[in-house]
Amino acid sequence: MSYTFNTQATCQEYFGKSHDLVRRSVKEFVEQEILPYIDDWEEAGEFPRELYLKAAEVGILGTGYPEAYGGIPGDIFFRVVVTEELMRSGSGGLAAGIGSLNIALPPILSLGTDAQKERFIKPVLAGEKIAALAITEPGGGSDVASIGTTAVREGDHYRVNGSKTFITSGHRADQITCAVRTGKTGAHGISLLVIESDTPGYSVSAKLKKTGWWASDTAQIFLDDCLVPAENLIGEENQGFYGIMENFQGERLAMAIMANMTSQMAYEACLEYAREREALNRKLQGFQVIRHKLVDMATRLEASREFTYRIAAKIDSGHNQVKEISMAKNFACEVSDKITYDAVQIFGGYGYMRGYLVERLFRDNRILSIGGGTTEIMKEIIGSFLFK
Ligand X SMILES: Cc1cc2nc3c(=O)[nH]c(=O)nc-3n(C[C@H](O)[C@H](O)[C@H](O)COP(=O)(O)OP(=O)(O)OC[C@H]3O[C@@H](n4cnc5c(N)ncnc54)[C@H](O)[C@@H]3O)c2cc1C
What's the CA gap between 345 and 338, in Å, rounded?
11
Q: Would residue 80 be called left, alpha or beta, if left means φ above 0 and alpha means ψ between -120 and 50 degrees?
A: alpha
**Annotated catalytic residue, options 33, 42, 251, 324:** 251
Would you say 174 or 316 has its CB closer to ligand X? 174
Question: What is the nearest approach in angstroms of ligand X to the Cβ of residue 50?
Answer: 22
Instruction: Report in angstroms how near the CB of residue 247 gets to ligand X at its nearest.
Output: 10
Which residue, 69 or 166, is less far from ligand X as judged by CB?
A: 166
Q: Which residues of 183-202 are buried (b: 16+ CB within 10 A; e: fewer)?
A: eeeebebbbbbbbbbebeeb
**Residue 295 CA to its chain's centroid (Å):** 28
> Which residue number places its CB atom closest to ligand X?
141
**Binding track over 7-46 against ligand X, x by CB under 6 A:** ----------------------------------------
222 sits in which H/E element: strand 218-229
DSSP string, 177-240: EEEEE-SSSSGGGEEEEEEETTSTTEEE-SPPP-SS-TTS-EEEEEEEEEEEEGGGEESSTTBH
Q: Is 371 in the site for ligand X (CB under 6 A)?
A: yes
Integer Cα distance of 388 and 381 in angstroms: 11
Burial of 282: CB neighbours in 10 Å, binned 0-12, 13-18, 19+: exposed
* Residue number with CB closer to ligand X (169 or 308): 169
Q: What number of chain residues touch ligand X (CB under 6 A)?
A: 22
> Which of these ranges, 50-58, 132-140, 199-207, 326-334, lies near ligand X under the rule CB under 6 A?
132-140
Cα separation, 372 vs 369, in Å, equals 8
From 24, 380, 383, 384, residue interacting with ligand X (rule: CB under 6 A): 380
- The least distance separating ligand X from the CB of residue 234, rounded to whole angstroms, comes to 15
Question: What is the smallest separation between the CB atom of 79 and ligand X, expressed in angstroms?
Answer: 17
Select from 30-38, 284-292, 312-320, 375-383 the region that touches ligand X (CB under 6 A): 375-383
Q: Which residue from 224, 376, 383, 385 is in contact with ligand X, where contact means CB under 6 A? A: 376
Give the other-Cβ count within 10 Å of 173's Cβ: 27
Q: Is 251 a catalytic residue?
A: yes
Q: Does 168 bind ligand X (CB under 6 A)?
A: yes
Smallest gap, in angstroms, from Cβ of residue 103 to ligand X? 6
Report the distance separating Cα 51 and Cα 157, nearest Å: 34
**Distance between CA atoms of residues 328 and 309, nearest Å:** 9
Could you say which residues in the range 60-119 bind ligand X, by CB under 6 A?
none
Q: Which of 76, 367, 368, 381 binds ligand X (CB under 6 A)?
A: 367
Q: Is 317 left (phi over 0), alpha (psi -120 to 50) or beta?
A: alpha
Of 8-16, 30-38, 294-302, 371-379, the segment contacting ligand X by CB under 6 A is 371-379
Interface map 135-154 toward ligand X (x if CB under 6 A): xx---xxx------------
CB of 140 to ligand X, least distance (A): 4
Between 260 and 369, name the residue whose CB sits nearer to ligand X: 369
Q: Closest Cα partner for 246 from 42, 151, 106, 369?
A: 106
User: By the 8 A CB rule, do 23 and 64 touch?
Assistant: no
Is the distance from CB of 309 to CB of 14 less than 8 angstroms?
yes
Half-sphere exposure of 84 (CA within 13 A, CB side): 25
Q: Does 254 bind ligand X (CB under 6 A)?
A: no
Q: Considering the complex, what minimum distance in angstroms separates the CB of residue 320 from ligand X?
A: 22
Within residues 187-226, the interface with ligand X by CB under 6 A covers 210, 213, 218
Active-site positions? 251
Sites of contact with ligand X (CB under 6 A): 132-136, 140-142, 166-168, 210, 213, 218, 367, 370-371, 373-374, 376-377, 380
